Amino acid sequence: WGLFCSHPADYTPVCTSKLATAAELIPEFEKRNVKVIDLSCDTVEEHHGWIKDVAAFSKIDISIPIIDDADRAIANRLGMIREHDDFDNRFHPRGLPMAARGVCSTNVQAR
Amino acid present at 46: E
Q: Which of 77, 85, 73, 81 is nearest to 100 (CA)?
A: 81
Q: Which of 48, 53, 68, 46 is nearest to 20 (CA)?
A: 53
Using an 8 Å Cβ cutoff, are 99 and 15 in contact? Answer: no
Selecting among 5, 15, 41, 104, the annotated active-site residue is: 15
Q: Is 15 a catalytic residue?
A: yes
Catalytic residues: 15
